[in-house]
Structure 1
Amino acid sequence: MKKLTLLSFIFSLFLLISPEKKLAAENLQVTIDSLKDGAVLQLENKTYQGNIVINKSLTLIGSKHTVIKGDGTGNVISIKAPHVKLSHLTVIHGGMDRNSPEEYAAIKIYTNNNIVEHINIRDSFHGIYLSQAHNNKIRFNHIKGMDKGEIAAQGNGIHVYYANDNLLEKNTIEGTRDGMFFDYANNNRSYKNNISQTRYGLHYMYSDKNIFKKNTFTMNTGGAAIMNSNHLKLEDNQFIVNYGNQSFGLLLLQANDNYISNNTFYMNQRGMYIDQATRNEFRHNKIVQNQIGIELWVSSNEQTFTLNQITENTIPAVTLGGNGENNSWSKNGKGNDWGSTFPITDLNQDSIGDFPITYRSSLYQLIEDQELSYLFLKSPALKIYEKMNAALTNEAIMFKDTHPIAASKGSHTNAILLVAGILLAAILIKGRHLLCITFGRNGRKI
């Protein structure tokens, strides 16, 4: 009897010493509601039932096998207090209802100054959703969607809605609708994120003064779509193997006063697609081995291209819809490097060509009139088409670079090595079948 009483006392004492951990094992929401502001809750290696609402400033720390599983009807975790920190969790099974008045997410944040890091997210409509939430840090997270076959049925990896001054850093996103979607979101910073197998890796709508730097986009339908957004900085990003019907590395649509510098556009259907855009500057970019390097519609004015390497593309640049004289292919006496496609004469050895480069083509007519022409740009028949039109008609000027610069040597070696590494990883992880579908058995699109 005395031993039983002693055991009961010890067990009761244990509950008093560590109530948070014990209650968390039974009901995570009850535990959260019972904690004080600033409390730290260490979760076990087990599955906890969502959906949970965090309405006070807390830190939730998981372990390797900590899972929070939603009931499939709403947000798995809703953060409705500032200064919340979530880390080292797996969050799954959020609501997928597209017709609900609210768009659901694995983690939905409504407040400011929160940190969400080292989270694995699966089986949810949106991954992480910031709704009018400012000054948050979203970093080191891995968000996986249902892949391209289910793009229309799911949301975005990270969705930023009327949310400003947030840091999005070193996240990996794959298989979602859009990787990152910004809607009326200003002054956000996105660094070193990796996005693949999405519709658009990056999608900006009505979002100004954002910085996007050192991110990588591979095997998306579109790398980055910048629409109705101004004063952005896109620097040191990689847009690689974004391929498919009407695909692109970077799209600028009604986007003005943006600065695009030191980016790599490699093996995309179109490196850049520019329409109804004004006063954008493109500097020190590598636009290499795309089917079309730059597709520029004459609805765009005052674009400036300087010190870019635009080489080894099937078509270096094409102007569609009329005469593109309102755009400039050089600045301060420095144009672009067109590689061996347009060899230059440089008698005074100042690395600036002695004569302008003028590129004429009739392919613009085919591209404007036939949407499927993109699929045949590497066909030998197109060279015959060009020669026939050159003899029979006056070809239009696609661009005129008045100060072309001397070809650089080995300047896209790093991009090639990066692509080789990505393709090797794809072979090891996804298998040869994916690559054959994408590029054909002999490296060609089929």
Structure 2
Amino acid sequence: MLRPSFRQSFSLWRRQGQCLALVLSLGLCLVPHLALGADQSQIINIADSEALRTALASAPNGTEIRLLPGRYIGRFEVEQPLTLRGEPGAVIDAQGAGSALVVSASGVTLTRLTIRNWGRDLYEKDAAIRLLPGANEVTIVANELSGPGFGIYASEVSDLKLKDNQIEGEAEAFLLDRGDGIHLLKVNYPHVSGNRIKTVRDGIYLESGVGSRVYGNHLSELQYGLHYMYTKQDEAMDNLACRVSGGYALMNSEGIRLVFNRVREAKEFGVLLNLTHDAEIQANQIEATQMPNSVAGDLFSEGKGLFVYGAKRNQISGNYIAGNQIGIAMALGGEDNLVYQNQFLANATQVRYVGETRVEWSLQGRGNYWSDYRGWDLDGDGIGDGQHLPNDSLDRLFWLYPEAKFLMESPLVKLLKWLDNQLQGEHSVGVVDSHPVMTPPPHLGPAAWEAL
């Protein structure tokens, strides 16, 4: 038998290859919407609600489901580890009832989804995305959520990642009838970063969890920007809260590190430490906390930059506190805290202390900077030669009789306050800064802090 020539062999190989390509092409045509990604995981393109429901129920683990442009009506469940990705123009509409997406599996990724119009029943935990107990290591990234209930609600999970999501509630709804933007109950070690949240109840609410990391979020037009309840060992850095009732509420929590955050245009408080212990409140910027229709002399009706209420063993240092009705207020046994190297600038009342104990606000020979300090520095060491009493006997008198507050700016009262400051001895009560600094300490940013 004659052996085929090289030219004949090559021609035969090419025809066989063309036939194989045709067979593969026909085969792929018989399996619509299915492709292989670079990592050999399946990618399924979906174009309608029923196809999405079927894919979520039957797709193998690791599948990526892509929503093509269109409306996906109803509520959907994710019960195995997969990725659900939205293409531009794809919208999930829950039609005003229940939760739009309910996740019960670990290892799920939800990304670039647009979700609208889920339910408003807060008792039933209606949310755009709801994570059931045990749905660990879920990633929720770059989604756009707009609706009345919770944006993201998770309970009894761990290692949750929430990044770069936009969450918007109903601005016309009564504040306390809205859901929270992100609500995490008994969630350990969540990472929440780069989210933009507005017109909800609380921007980010964390309860009974451990080890959260909350970085770089923008929180506006809501009750509290960041709200901790019964949590431990959390850290929040580089967040901005503006036009809120309260910026950062730390309640009944331990070991929180709140550093390099900003709050402006709050009403009730910039930072609240309510029965919270062993926290670090450092290098935050707290400005323009103003309560409308406030009553002079009423602690709870005036805007407080920082409010320490029954909190102990906290370190409050390096903060910029300016333009608030009350710079810092302290009550109900909040004396056992370190307060030093803060800047108190042009607050209507720099300090409001409700108590009868002498409280020292300096550490190792360095106190705080006070814009109203009238002392001098004859030895040039940068520390005032005389102590500073943010509240003196006359302040307490005016708190008792707020109707006489118009006299505060009279020359005689200013002279009496200066004399009272000079004559107060070591047994005086109230807040005392024995080492006021003469120039404002530098207000470092996050990069400079990490370099230390």
Task: Give the Cα separation in 2 of the matches to 1:123 and 1:149.
Answer: 11
Q: Which residue of 1 aligns with 2:356?
A: 323
Query: Which of 10, 18, 35 in structure 1 is aligned with 2:33?
Result: 18
Is structure 2 residue 213 aligned with structure 1 residue 213?
Answer: no
Q: Which residue of 2 aligns with 1:28?
A: 52
After superposition, the C-alpha distances for 1:203-230 in whole angstroms (9 at most, x for unaligned) are 1110111001110010101111111011
Task: Give the Cα separation in 2 of the matches to 1:297 and 1:140.
Answer: 38
Please show how residues 58-207 of structure 1 align to structure 2 within 5 Å. Answer: 58-98=82-122, 100=123, 102-110=124-132, 111-147=135-171, 149-207=173-231
Query: Which of 338, 344, 361 in structure 2 is aligned with 1:304?
Result: 338
- Once the 2 structures are TM-superposed, how far is the Cα of residue 283 of structure 1 from its aligned partner? 0.9
Task: Give the Cα separation in 2 of the matches to 1:47 and 1:386.
Answer: 72
Q: Which amino acid aligns with 1:314?
A: A
Is structure 2 residue 309 aligned with structure 1 residue 275?
Answer: yes
Structure 1 contact 28–49 (Cα < 8 Å) conserved: no
Task: Give the Cα separation in 1 of the matches to 2:125 and 2:61.
Answer: 28
Q: SS of the counterpart of 2:56?
A: helix
Structure 1 contact 362–386 (Cα < 8 Å) conserved: no
Q: SS of the counterpart of 1:178?
A: coil
Q: Which residue of 1 aligns with 2:440?
A: 408
Q: SS of the counterpart of 1:242?
A: coil
Structure 1 contact 258–280 (Cα < 8 Å) conserved: yes
After superposition, the C-alpha distances for 1:411-439 in whole angstroms (9 at most, x for unaligned) are 6799xxxxxxxxxxxxxxxxxxxxxxxxx
Task: Give the Cα separation in 1 of the matches to 2:411 and 2:185.
Answer: 48
Task: Give the Cα separation in 2 of the matches to 1:294 and 1:259.
Answer: 16
Structure 2 contact 46–68 (Cα < 8 Å) conserved: no
Percentage of pairs with the same residue? 27
Distance change in 2, residues 1:400/1:13 (3 Å): closer
Distance change in 2, residues 1:64/1:181 (3 Å): same
- Once the 2 structures are TM-superposed, how far is the Cα of residue 66 of structure 1 from its aligned partner? 1.6
Task: Give the Cα separation in 2 of the matches to 1:319 and 1:353.
Answer: 22
Please show how residues 329-340 of structure 1 align to structure 2 within 5 Å. Answer: 329-339=361-371
Q: Which residue of 2 aligns with 1:314?
A: 348
Task: Give the Cα separation in 1 of the matches to 2:167 and 2:397.
Answer: 42
Q: Which residue of 2 aligns with 1:387?
A: 413
Task: Give the Cα separation in 2 of the matches to 1:128 and 1:215.
Answer: 19
Q: Which amino acid aligns with 2:437?
A: I
Structure 1 contact 148–176 (Cα < 8 Å) conserved: no
After superposition, the C-alpha distances for 1:120-173 in whole angstroms (9 at most, x for unaligned) are 111131111121111011010011111275212211010010001010000011
Distance change in 2, residues 1:165/1:305 (3 Å): same
- Once the 2 structures are TM-superposed, how far is the Cα of residue 25 of structure 1 from its aligned partner? 5.5
Unaligned runs of 5+ in 2: 1-24, 35-43, 290-302, 422-427, 446-452
Q: Which residue of 2 aligns with 1:424?
A: none
Please show how residues 30-45 of structure 1 align to structure 2 within 5 Å. Answer: 30-45=54-69
Is structure 2 residue 273 aligned with structure 1 residue 264?
Answer: no
Task: Give the Cα separation in 1 of the matches to 2:352 and 2:32.
Answer: 72
Query: Which of 347, 350, 353 in structure 1 is aligned with 2:381?
Result: 350
Task: Give the Cα separation in 2 of the matches to 1:221 and 1:237.
Answer: 16
Aligned length: 389
Q: Which amino acid aligns with 1:285?
A: N
- Once the 2 structures are TM-superposed, how far is the Cα of residue 50 of structure 1 from its aligned partner? 2.9
Please show how residues 279-298 of structure 1 align to structure 2 within 5 Å. Answer: 279-298=313-332
Q: Which amino acid aligns with 1:401?
A: D
- Once the 2 structures are TM-superposed, how far is the Cα of residue 22 of structure 1 from its aligned partner? 4.7
Distance change in 2, residues 1:118/1:381 (3 Å): farther
Q: SS of the counterpart of 1:358?
A: coil
Distance change in 2, residues 1:217/1:200 (3 Å): same
Moved more, 356-365 or 129-138: 356-365
- Once the 2 structures are TM-superposed, how far is the Cα of residue 185 of structure 1 from its aligned partner? 1.4
Task: Give the Cα separation in 1 of the matches to 2:222 and 2:363.
Answer: 35
Q: SS of the counterpart of 1:274?
A: strand
Structure 1 contact 142–172 (Cα < 8 Å) conserved: yes
Task: Give the Cα separation in 2 of the matches to 1:384 and 1:234.
Answer: 40
- Once the 2 structures are TM-superposed, how far is the Cα of residue 397 of structure 1 from its aligned partner? 5.1
Q: SS of the counterpart of 2:369?
A: coil
- Once the 2 structures are TM-superposed, how far is the Cα of residue 231 of structure 1 from its aligned partner? 0.6
Q: Which residue of 2 aligns with 1:51?
A: 75
After superposition, the C-alpha distances for 1:329-386 in whole angstroms (9 at most, x for unaligned) are 00111100112x103322222211222112315444665x79xx7xx99x85654699
RMSD: 2.9
Moved more, 219-228 or 147-156: 147-156
Structure 1 contact 24–31 (Cα < 8 Å) conserved: no
After superposition, the C-alpha distances for 1:233-279 in whole angstroms (9 at most, x for unaligned) are 00000011102xxx110111111111000100111121011111111
- Once the 2 structures are TM-superposed, how far is the Cα of residue 390 of structure 1 from its aligned partner? 6.0
Q: SS of the counterpart of 1:346?
A: coil
> What TM-score do the two structures reach when normalised by structure 2?
0.79
Structure 2 contact 47–67 (Cα < 8 Å) conserved: no
Distance change in 2, residues 1:22/1:284 (3 Å): closer
Q: Which amino acid aligns with 1:323?
A: E
Distance change in 2, residues 1:167/1:337 (3 Å): same
Moved more, 48-57 or 62-71: 62-71
Q: Which residue of 2 aligns with 1:242?
A: 266
Distance change in 2, residues 1:22/1:137 (3 Å): closer
- Once the 2 structures are TM-superposed, how far is the Cα of residue 388 of structure 1 from its aligned partner? 10
Unaligned runs of 5+ in 1: 1-9, 415-446
Task: Give the Cα separation in 2 of the matches to 1:169 and 1:55.
Answer: 26
